């Protein structure tokens, strides 16, 4: 994955970390809009990244707190893959990206910000976005972008 320059990520990198697992906390507290949770399944959920590499950056995450692919069973893997495909479809329709980066970072050395709860990224890309985003987006305006994008994607998810 080759992330674009995203200055608001500094807040994540330099900010204070929450106690416990952020992903477990998010799916348990049932504040889906506040937490940017787009969809829930039986085994996993879809959440937008609060510190995105790009507009629309989302993640598919199992409810189960595991750090390795080998800990996911067939049903869980199937649902996660289904959500990734649906996210691709929804974002293609709603945001009209020119492509996607996707995948996972297993372990801190591989770039995982949260390395003990596996999560799959899907990041829409537009030709020239690495130049475009720093110009139009400032750190403080990102929450606004996030809620707007959340509402657009939520509407298309149905
Ligand atoms: Zn967890």
Q: Count of CB atoms within 10 A of residue 53's CB?
A: 22
Cα of 22 to ligand 1 centre, how many Å?
7
Lowest mean pLDDT among 17-26, 126-135, 143-152: 126-135
Within 10 A of 30 (CB to CB), how many other CB atoms are there?
A: 10
Percent of the chain with pLDDT over 90: 61
Domain spanning 32-157, CATH class: alpha beta
Residue of 57, 119, 121, 145 marked catalytic: 119
pTM of this structure: 0.84
pLDDT of residue 101: 92
CB 37 within 8 A of CB 27: yes
Question: What's the rounded mean pLDDT across residues 40-52?
Answer: 94
User: What is residue 8's predicted lDDT score, i.e. its pLDDT?
Assistant: 62
User: Residue 157: CB partners within 8 Å, gap ≥ 6?
Assistant: 38, 39, 86, 90
Question: Is the confidence at residue 3, as pLDDT, over 60?
Answer: no
Which residues keep their CB under 5 angstroms from ion ligand 1?
A: 21, 23-24, 65, 117
| CA of residue 72 to ligand 1 center, whole Å | 14
122 DSSP β-pair partners: 58, 102
Is the pLDDT at 141 greater than 80? The verdict is no
Sign of the CA dihedral running 80, 82, 86, 88: positive
pLDDT at 13: 62
pLDDT value at position 9?
65
In the residue annotation, 121 being an active-site residue is answered as no
Residue 19 clears pLDDT 50, i.e. is over it: yes
Residue 1 confidence (pLDDT): 46
154 C-alpha to ligand 1 centroid (Å) = 24
Structure confidence at residue 131 (pLDDT) = 52
pLDDT tens-place string over residues 98-125: 999 999 999 988 888 889 999 999 999 9
The CA 64 to ligand 1 mean position distance, Å, reads 7
* Ligand 1 centroid distance, CA of 146 (Å): 23
């Amino acid at each position: 994955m080759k992330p674009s320059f995203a200055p608001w990520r500094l807040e994540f990198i330099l900010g204070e970390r929450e106690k416990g697992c952020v992903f477990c906390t998010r799916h348990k507290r049932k504040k889906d809009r506040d937490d940017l949770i787009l969809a829930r399944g039986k085994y996993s959920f879809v959440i937008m990244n609060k510190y995105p590499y790009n507009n629309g950056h989302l993640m598919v995450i199992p409810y189960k707190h595991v750090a390795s692919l080998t800990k996911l069973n067939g049903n869980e893997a199937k649902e996660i893959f289904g959500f990734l495909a649906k996210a691709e479809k929804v974002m293609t329709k709603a945001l009209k990206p020119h492509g996607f980066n996707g995948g996972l970072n297993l372990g801190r050395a591989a770039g995982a910000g949260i390395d003990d709860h596996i999560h799959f990224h899907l990041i829409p890309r537009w030709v020239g976005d690495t130049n475009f985003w720093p110009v139009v987006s400032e750190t403080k305006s990102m929450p606004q972008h996030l809620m707007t994008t959340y509402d657009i994607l939520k509407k298309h998810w149905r």
